[in-house]
Amino acid sequence: MMEAGQREALERLKESRIEGAIIIGGNGSQAGAYALSRAGLPVIGVASTIDNDLPGSDITIGVDTALNIALEAIDRLKVTASSHHRGLLVEVMGRNSGYLALMAGLAGGAEAIVIPEREITPEAIADIMRSAYDRGKKHALIVVAEGAANNAERLAPYFTDKSRLGFELRATILGHVQRGGAPTAFDRLLATRLGVGAIEAFVRGERGVLVGWIDGRVKTAPLSDVVRQLKLLDLSVLDMAEMLSK
């Protein structure tokens, strides 16, 4: 049974004489794309979200730009990190996904990475920072996903009382800054290829599919599969990051 909203959307598209749609976006947009497709509209989806949590594409449009903005912030923080009882925290975007935090933390050499997929306690974070300084590190940098239980807002009260964990935390919250900026070469090339791929899929007669980037190639996957699957974060990357930070 079709929902009222979808029925209205279809009618509006017909009135505007729009006979098909290429829908660029993440999980929410592609769920909508699938609904319109089932309602009879010729639809092609293009994989685009900075969270990189959309099944059907190894990497999605926007991730590389957001990642480089986060990394730039981390690089700048490292310049100022010096006090032995101070931790620097960067909160990056990601309501349900720790992908950006994980990759920014790995690329930026963070001492701790806090993501929804594997939470750690404030006490454990303080331990990691203490141990980083003990091993001669010049900074103690934590990257946190906004969607982590212990995000910047929730970690603040633990660290306000310096005597408690022995550490003062200075937070940077990037917020929507990560969505702006000039797109990187990778993102422009990915968008170009997926865009061309969407047109080619249309011409080939494919409908109700997502155009994504799989194993270094443009590939299409049925939207019916995409909306039913869940793309999980590869936590072995977190293991690697933790190993390298030691």
Binding footprint of a second copy on the chain (CB under 8 A): 58, 64, 67-73, 75-81, 88, 103-104, 106-108, 170-182, 184-186, 188-189, 192, 196, 214-216, 240, 244
Q: Is 175 left (phi over 0), alpha (psi -120 to 50) or beta?
A: left
Single-letter amino acid, residue 108 = G
**Nearest approach, Cβ of residue 48 and a second copy (Å):** 14
At 158, which helix (H) or strand (E)?
Answer: helix 152-160
**Nearest approach, Cβ of residue 215 and a second copy (Å):** 4
Nearer to a second copy, 9 or 77 (CB): 77
**Nearest approach, Cβ of residue 64 and a second copy (Å):** 6
What gap in Å lies between CA 184 and CA 62, rounded to an integer? 9
Single-letter amino acid, residue 59 = I
Nearer to a second copy, 47 or 227 (CB): 47
Quick check: helix, strand or coil at residue 43?
strand
Nearer to a second copy, 126 or 174 (CB): 174
Q: Are 198 and 22 in contact (CB under 8 A)?
A: yes
What gap in Å lies between CA 127 and CA 129, rounded to an integer? 5
Nearer to a second copy, 155 or 227 (CB): 155
Q: Is 97 left (phi over 0), alpha (psi -120 to 50) or beta?
A: beta
Q: Is 239 a catalytic residue?
A: no
**Nearest approach, Cβ of residue 17 and a second copy (Å):** 26
CA atoms within 13 A on the CB side of 46: 20
Single-letter amino acid, residue 164 = R
Q: For residue 81, what is the DSSP state?
A: -
**Nearest approach, Cβ of residue 194 and a second copy (Å):** 12
What gap in Å lies between CA 215 and CA 175, rounded to an integer? 30
CA atoms within 13 A on the CB side of 117: 18
Active site residues: 51
